[in-house]
Each structure stands twice: as C-alpha cells, then as structure tokens.
Structure 1
Amino acid sequence: MATPMSPDRLVTALRAEGVKVVERPGWRTHNRNGKGPWGPVNGVVIHHTVTSGTSNTVSICENGYAGLPGPLCHGVIAKDGTVYLIGNGRANHAGRGDGDVLRAVIAERPLPAADQADTDGNTHFYGFECENLGDGADPWPDVQLEAIERAATAVCRVHGWGAGSVIGHREWQPGKVDPKGFGMGDLRSRIAARLKGRPTGGGSSTGGTTASTYTVRPGETLSGIGAKLKFNWKAIAQANGIPAPYVIKPGQQLKLPGSGTPAGGGSSYSPPPFPAGLAPNHSSPSARGLQQALKDTGWLDPSVPLSDNYGPQTQKAVAGFNRKHNLFTTGQPDDPAIGRRGWDLLHRLAYGN
C-alpha cells in the first residue's frame, strides 16, 4: 500500500519522467472523495476513452456524463502524448473489480482472470484514460504509447512499485475490453526496462518546482516544503547537505530526493548500516528508524507512535512491504522480519536517489 501523491509531487514525477503535462483548471481539488476512500493506493489502471478529439475527450473525462460524474480518471493521455491532469483524489474510473487481481497487483505476481466484481478499484488505483476509439482500428501513435509508458513509470518510481503494478481495465473488471489495440504485457516490459534506469525528463513546473528541484519562496521552511510535496523534509535536508538548524533562504534551489546528485555536489544517498538485533517482538532503538521509514513510504500509519518495540503494527507493515517487493527472509508470504536488502530498499525509497 502507499499514500497517494500530492498534486505537486505528481506533476514533478511526471515531468521528471519526460512527460508533457497540462494542468487543467481546478484539477487539484476535482475528485469524488465524498463518495468513498481514496487510498491506500496499489497500482495504475490504463483505459481507452472510446472518443475522438482531444478537447472533447478531456471535457468528457473532466465532467463525466449522466449516471457517472467526473473526474473519470486522473490524467488523459492524448494522441500527441500530452498528459492532461484533470483530477486529484478518488475518480470514477476503475469501478468494482476482482479482489484476487488486486492481491496479485500488490504482490506483483501473474494476474488471475478477472471474473468477480467484489472490490472498489476507485480506492486503490490511479487511472489514465487514453484517447482512442477502442475499435481495434484506431491507431496508437508511438508518441502516445511512449507517454503511457512514461506516465505509468513515473507513478511506479515514486511508490517503489514494479511494472506488475500497472494493469489494463480489462484485467481488472469483468467484461471490459480496454485498452484495445496494444498488449499490456508489452507495456509492462517497457515500463520494467525504464524503471531500471534513471528518469530522463526535464522541464519546469508551476509552483517553483522543476523535474528535480524546488525553488524556495519567502517564508517557507523545509518542513513546510516537505508537507507540500509529500517528501520527508529531513531527506530534502540530507540531499542538499543542509545541517541543523536547517536554515534555507528564498530563491535557494533544493534538489528533491530521487533526482540524482545533491545540489552543489556530494554523493548519492547511502542507507544507514543495517542494525544488529532488529527483529520482531524485540525491543531496540533501531525500531524507531524502521518505523519512521515505513511511515515515510506510506506503509505505516502516521498516527502510530514511534517505539523501541518491534510490535504487531510494525510487523504488519514490514510484511506488506516484503510481499510487495518479494523480500522474504524466512520464505513465508507474511514475513514480518526486515532483512538487509529490505532495510536498504526501504530507506532508498524513503530518502534516497
């Protein structure tokens, strides 16, 4: 599971991946949150729109239609590869689908056939609607297919997901056929290859953010910037070599975690040494660091107090993290123990490059 991205972080992630983004008016607060939960999020669903014309497509996805109010997705991917952001939060795109498919997405294992409609997908999935008639004859331009690949990769990269977290609507909900005209297996292969490299995008974003940096505004603090962008503020301080008392100045360019070399030079992030004696049902000061990293990656509820005790809530969070990333130190599917590989990966996802 993961905490949904803030609007600023989504824009930053997409542009970092080389996606051309258009922010539609009001998209940051356009959602269906009053009708049900949004998050924890577990993956990305790709759709086709059964429409033609970008303006018409964006309008329909923003506003919806009788019986199905908008937004109908989070982003519309046009024929020219532009991603139009139209919603932030719960959107009417996935409907009810197969809980077995959701469990497979979480574990990133082969998908079963979608033959049930017992789980609310609008809670768990980001959605991208792709402009296409869906008749099998309407072409998918290369630039559009690449934008789908890049947009899905951007979301996966932020959350530490693999390509198995990206599915087609037809793989989620019984009776659906979208997206029609390209293979989801091929798309996942290309996403997996892209995730092995670093983001290749650039370009600026509104609000003082570029694909990899943030420009400090008057009166801002590191903690405020971290809350705004959904980054751990101490990770931003570490990435930029800012010591206590963590003073920043207006106009200062901050490198965001996960975007390469720290501003002004320095080395890439190195996780702290794996602590001895860190184990389920044991008391250790290192448990606090584990719990904080789990919180900062969305695996542990922020309201859980930090404690030396590696107790049931920490164990449950670690077990979910291990399942997601196939990290089983004991070979058990609900392994609550964090191993050295899991410790390093968790901290890189929370604070690293």
Structure 2
Amino acid sequence: MRLVERAAWGAPATSPAAYLPSARGVKVHYLGSAYSSRAHSLCDDYVRKIRAEHLANAKENYVDIAYNAVVCEHGYVYEGRGLHKRTGANGNAELNGRDYAVCALLGSSGFTEPPDAMLAGLRDAIEWFRANGAAGDWVGGHKDGYATACPGAPLYAWVKAGAPRPGGTGGGSDGEDQYTVRAGDTLSGIARRLDLDWRELAKVNGLSEPYTVYVGQELDLPESGGGTQAPPYPGRSAFVLGRRHQAVTDLDRQLVRLGFTRHHDGNGYQPGPLFTAYTRRNIADFQRSRPELSNDPDGYPGPVTWELAHTLRR
C-alpha cells in the first residue's frame, strides 16, 4: 500500500473529526465534477484543494476533508480523516456513522475511467480500513442508501462486482504466484506494493545488483502469508518498553506483513529489536482487529498474539 500520511500532503497530523470505533464497511466516492488526468506530482495539490473547499463550505460545516481517504490515478492512498474517524461524506449523520468513505480522483467528465492502479489503490484503502480501522466486509457506492450519481457508472460497476483487485487477488499480481512488471516499476516499488521483502523477491528471482527489472518480465513471488507454525513464544520478558530482544524484530516483521504499521517516528515503521511505544501501539491495533484479543488490546504480546501474528495470512 502506497500510503501518503496527512502530514506528508500538508494537513495537520491528526484529524479533529469525531471518533468512530468501527464501521459496517466502506463507501466508494468520486469527485462528481470535471477532472483531468495529471502527473503524480500534482495529486497532492488537488487533495489540498479538496480539503480547502470542504473547510470553506459553511453549509456543511466540515471540520476537515470529508473523506477518510483519497486515491489518485497512480494508486497512492492519501490519508484523509483516516482510521477510526467519522466521515463527513456519506450524505447524513446516520450514514456518516455507518461506513468509511474513500474518494477516487475521478471525474464525471474528462478523466472518468478508473485505471488499474487506481482500482488497486482503492482496494488497498478498503483493506487498510478492515485491517486497522475495524471496518466490516461490506463495500458499496455513495449512491447506496443516498440519492446521488456518485461514484459514477464505471466505478460503481467495479464496486458491484465486489471491488476486485486488478489482475486477481495477489496485490496487483497476474496470479497468486507471479507478478508481471509494468512501466515505471522498480523492484523495491513492487515489493512495497505487494507487502514483500525486496531482498526475498530478488533472491527468489535470482536478481543481483543493480536489481533491474523489465516491462513484461514475470517475477515469481515468495510466500507472503503466515507460516503454518509459529516459532516458540519467547516469554513476556522479551517485550519490555525500552529493552531490546530479537523476538521484537521477528514480531515487527509480522506487523509489517499484516499491515499494522501506522505508528512510527515519521520515517515509516521499521523492524528492529527495540520494543518502543510505537511497537506497542501497532501490536494493540493488531489485537483490536482480532476477536480473540480485542477484549484486552494492551499492546504487549502474549502467546495468542504471538501465534496469530505468525500464522495469519494477510
């Protein structure tokens, strides 16, 4: 998932929107106005424009950009109000408290057909809300339950088809075990998109420096899901704030694989042996996502947390 956090595109780090403990699912939106395709370097300008227009809308009295996320044609997910925040985009107070809202930078005229990269980004956002925001499995359009044309015919057809990931279910791959290199791809970029370790991806495909990939090349994918058995639980003494233990690095890798990485020092969440407050918060997010653990999401991994983190598939 190519997430652009709020601070990175020019919004305050945290949205002032009301807290949303959980959601039925996710509603997909589009702009509903003319929009033109643009270079990726200009996409954050447009997201800032949306936020400024929403804040200036005295009738709606928005406290922030209305959407929980915005997805551009290049597949990047811009954090809007974000996780566990009530949207302002679904039409009324009841609907805003029921589902998250993700908006595609797609117009009612001009740029109207969602490319594969955008659909992959929308799917990334949906899975992000499910994994980290306690969203349910339901996916719909803005028009479901509210009188509007949004999200437009092409995007709504994708929604009604189940919002499938382009090329299958493998994070943008052409099958479960392979990925076909596209224009602009790099090995590290492919690895990020598929939630893989780039070193493992290189190893499986026999690549060495400078790790060049070519358009149309088919890459074999390493196993990206959890294993069938977790390593032995190291004990609670391995997970003490401010202390180092190799088991922390191991667990960090599982958090990255599963997508529980929203807490970090500003440089992304990196696996390492130090058990930090960021580690604890990401573990707590994982615990909240699991019915077996949600009653006590304290951020300190016990045997069940350890087992599930290693064996669940993303």
Q: TM-score, normalised by structure 2?
A: 0.49
Q: Which one has more relative contact order, counting CA pairs under 8 Å at least 6 apart? A: 1
TM-score (norm 1): 0.45
| Higher helix content, 1 or 2 | 1
